[in-house]
Structure 1
Amino acid sequence: MSRPADRSGSFRSLRVRNYRFYAASNLVSLTGTWMQRIGQDWLVLQLSGDNGVALGVVTALQFAPTLVLSLYGGVLADRYPKRRMLVATQTLMGLLALLLGVLVASDGIALWHVFVLAAALGSVSAVDAPVRQAFVAELVGPDLLVNAVSLNSTIFNGARLVGPAVAGLLIGAASGDTAPAFLVNAASFAVTIGALLCMRPEELHATAPVARGRGQLREGLAYVWSRPDLRLAMGLALVLGTFTFNSQVTIALMAREVFGLGAEAFGLLTTCFAVGSLSGAFLSARRSARPLQRFLVLAAVAFGLLSIACGLMPTFWSFAVLLVPTGAAGLVFAVANNSFVQLGVDPQLRGRVMALYFTCFLGGTPVGAPLIGWISERFGAPWGFVTGGTVAVLAGSAAAAWLARGRRVRVEAGVVPPRLQLHVSPARTPAEAPGGHSTG
């Protein structure tokens, strides 16, 4: 039987009016966010004298609040109307971007200002992220959730494609002044707030709010711990999020230290990574079912191998070209892992589970970003890529070994067309095991 027309196509979620508002405004806002990220990284390098550790520290400060606040953001997402919460968080983030832009434009900026504002932005984002992720399910319902998550990643990486390039051009045209990037980002939040206010609440697939009570955070943690499949996804998110997803540090250092180039080249390299991520998002949008665990493992290993190869590239253009498949592999893993978690949880617990997921995925950045920055500073920028890639390969291999317990595993590889497939048979019963016997 053919699938209904309104449930087919890579862009099927866009047929939902509320999601169209969300997607369009998200594209504008995320473009501004990527402009701010490029501007912030470049500003830190300007103020610190190209210090890789300082770049890692500001990234850590922006993501450190995730460790503390994201889980409580998940509790709030399950307890209160998500749309209203997003209006509040988006307003606060817009005001913080405006303050940073004014400080830079008035020549009153100092490095400690960037650190403080990065931490403040991270605090608001830590609450915003789990609410936003849980809100997607309310926008489209369970049947379109995988497609909506993939389209969100497409939008995110489309913005990453445009934002860094525009930021690099703006900074270059302003003779190194990063203020325009921050001011544009501040204005972009108004678009998201307007879209949220224009949505039709009666068309949302809202779940019944969870009543305020004791132990709700512990309940979410216990639920995840009781599910081996969720533990696997959380573990991969923690390890790769900590050590491998650090392109904001590694690409900036490669541009300045290895190739000796300016903001325009940095923006171009980030755009190359985004082109690959966008391609990975389009590929992911074709999926309609929950990914398999072995797919997560293969995606993690592929991302790690390509990251190692990036660090070994000898020229600017070879590095730029390889960033494309690397970005694609990273995005395929991220979307698959996110979808795997969202489609495997009780809707009443989705906010808390997604909060834990983002705590794992982003919470390790305060450790990983400075560490990768220090390794790059001490041994050379390429080692940031090599270290992160090696950790991803080891994590994927460990996960594969864990999945293979009591199972027959077969790997198929091909060159034309390129493919890598992992076949895992069901676990053998004691009677099927060598030397085993039946007790029935």
Structure 2
Amino acid sequence: MASDLLQQIGIWIRNMALLYFVVAQTNGDPIAVSLLTVAEYAPIFIFSIIGGVLADRWRPKRTMIIGDLLSLLSIAPILWAVQAGYWQAVFVAAGVSAIVSQFSQPSSMKMFKRYVPDSQVGSAIAFSQTMSSLFIIGGPVLGTFIYTRYGISFSLSSLLVLFALSALCLSLLPKSEPVDRTERTSVYAEWKSGLGYVKGKRQLLVLFGLFALIALSAGLIQPLEIFLITERLQLPEASLQWFTAVSGMGMLLGGILAGVLSAGGHLLGKERRILLLGTLVFGAATIVEGLSLWPFLTGSMRLMTGVLLAFMQTVMATIMLTSVEERYVGRINGLFTPLFTGFLLLGTACAGVYMHATSLTFVFITSGLILGAASFVTLGLRSGPALAPGESVAVVPRAPGLEAE
């Protein structure tokens, strides 16, 4: 968690610094800002699957430490290039950081699976969700303060210290045992084995569908939130930050509540009911947001959806971790990440065109209806423990020589 905290600080300092720096260097050129987004998202599709497979091959502790060290080493030449006047190097910084995270994140999930008992997974994920929510609220403020006060060079230099401290924290984790591999297999064969594993696990197939619909719904409305503020509520653009903060506060409260209930075992066996009601209410709240003309009502819906989102993320992550054998965690994570990102970007790409063809309100209604459709997908989930006592894991095709770690 200490490593996650340091990385979250670094991520927000980096994101805000790169954004403001690119805007300043290009006089607000939207193409340059878009290229920065491409540099952050493109590696997810290229390296996420590979990173997931390799995370199942390599020792997770070593992989995460190497990831932090590579991030540290990559920042130094980029910092030099920026100071020398080659400001375009910041695009390389964004791309390298995104690539490294595709290897570190699956390894982090493997460590989670290995050392956190299934009965405590919900509480641990809720705690992690709470920390992320705090940074949703305070991260932009921190990143903006560091950049505006000290500039791009200091912002990038601070990453060197943060990544070094993160690697030091990770070195205190228990030593990872080497993977027992009696026969070498290709990355493609192991990726195919991961797909076979997903096909044999109904819980995972349902979660794939649920993630896709939630991502599509979110992608449709995320780029249009500014218009909700200016057109529906008749407020200045700067007011968007307060509604974002309200949403973050809802996620914070939801994370705390989910953690308390998970610790008491009150969520066990109620996963399907929580996701069913959560998607239905989430969809209804999204429609109300699109129809609302009153800031208080819109803010109330933002708070509610924040709480629901934290609950749903905790439940979905818990189901995934408790449904997957450790040796497949990296590959499954490597499949989920591009799936969610792909549908999110699909919704984002369609949002502007769809709004021009219909209306802002209709886009929000569509987003809410997609969440309503997601509620039907949750009916395919099985509540309770992913593997009942004595139950064997479904036998699925896998690459020869792929042994448990």
Give the TM-score, by structure 2 length: 0.75
Structure with more helix by fraction? 2
The AA in structure 2 aligned to 1:145 is V
Which structure is richer in relative contact order (CA contacts within 8 A, separation 6 or more)?
A: 2
CA deviation after TM superposition for structure 1 residue 84, in Å: 0.3
Paired with 1:139 and 1:342, the residues of 2 have a C-alpha distance of 12
CA deviation after TM superposition for structure 1 residue 59, in Å: 2.9
2:124 aligned to 148, 151, 156, which one?
148
Kindly provide the CA deviation profile for residues 262-298 of structure 1, in whole angstroms up to 9, marking residues without a partner as x.
6xx6665544332222222112222243652343233
2:105 aligned to 102, 110, 129, which one?
129
Q: Which residue of 1 aligns with 2:211?
A: 237
Q: Which residue of 1 aligns with 2:389?
A: none
Alignment of structure 1 residues 25-424 onto 2, 5 Å: 25-46=3-24, 55=33, 58-96=36-74, 108-110=86-88, 113-173=89-149, 177=151, 180-201=154-175, 209=180, 212-214=184-186, 215-244=189-218, 260=236, 269-285=243-259, 286-287=261-262, 288=265, 289=268, 292-310=271-289, 322-372=301-351, 383=360, 387=363, 390-391=366-367, 393-401=368-376
Paired with 1:134 and 1:192, the residues of 2 have a C-alpha distance of 18
- Whether the 8 Å CA contact 1:34–1:163 is kept in 2: the answer is yes
Paired with 2:68 and 2:302, the residues of 1 have a C-alpha distance of 31
Change (3 A) 1:158 1:350: same
Number of aligned positions between the proteins: 370
CA deviation after TM superposition for structure 1 residue 360, in Å: 1.9
CA deviation after TM superposition for structure 1 residue 371, in Å: 4.2
Change (3 A) 1:143 1:323: same
CA deviation after TM superposition for structure 1 residue 127, in Å: 2.0
Paired with 1:121 and 1:311, the residues of 2 have a C-alpha distance of 35
CA deviation after TM superposition for structure 1 residue 221, in Å: 0.5
The AA in structure 2 aligned to 1:137 is K
Choose 191-200 or 58-67, whichever is displaced more: 58-67
The AA in structure 2 aligned to 1:194 is L
- Whether the 8 Å CA contact 2:276–2:379 is kept in 1: the answer is no
Paired with 2:378 and 2:142, the residues of 1 have a C-alpha distance of 44
Change (3 A) 1:171 1:326: farther
- Whether the 8 Å CA contact 1:29–1:189 is kept in 2: the answer is yes
Paired with 1:105 and 1:146, the residues of 2 have a C-alpha distance of 45
The AA in structure 2 aligned to 1:37 is N
CA deviation after TM superposition for structure 1 residue 311, in Å: 5.0
Give the TM-score, by structure 1 length: 0.69
CA deviation after TM superposition for structure 1 residue 156, in Å: 1.8
Kindly provide the CA deviation profile for residues 182-204 of structure 1, in whole angstroms up to 9, marking residues without a partner as x.
44344322221110112232xx7
Change (3 A) 1:366 1:244: closer
Paired with 1:87 and 1:135, the residues of 2 have a C-alpha distance of 13
- Whether the 8 Å CA contact 1:342–1:354 is kept in 2: the answer is no
Tell me the SS of whatever aligns to 2:171: helix
Change (3 A) 1:255 1:185: farther
Ranges in structure 1 where 5+ consecutive residues have no aligned partner: 1-22, 406-440
- Whether the 8 Å CA contact 2:289–2:364 is kept in 1: the answer is no
RMSD of aligned C-alpha atoms? 3.9
CA deviation after TM superposition for structure 1 residue 244, in Å: 0.6
CA deviation after TM superposition for structure 1 residue 374, in Å: 6.5
Percent of aligned positions with the same letter in both sequences? 20
Paired with 1:28 and 1:170, the residues of 2 have a C-alpha distance of 15
- Whether the 8 Å CA contact 2:58–2:178 is kept in 1: the answer is no
The AA in structure 2 aligned to 1:281 is G
CA deviation after TM superposition for structure 1 residue 50, in Å: 5.1
- Whether the 8 Å CA contact 1:308–1:388 is kept in 2: the answer is yes
Change (3 A) 1:231 1:154: same
Paired with 1:173 and 1:255, the residues of 2 have a C-alpha distance of 29
Paired with 2:230 and 2:179, the residues of 1 have a C-alpha distance of 51
- Whether the 8 Å CA contact 2:246–2:303 is kept in 1: the answer is yes
- Whether the 8 Å CA contact 1:78–1:348 is kept in 2: the answer is yes
The AA in structure 2 aligned to 1:158 is L
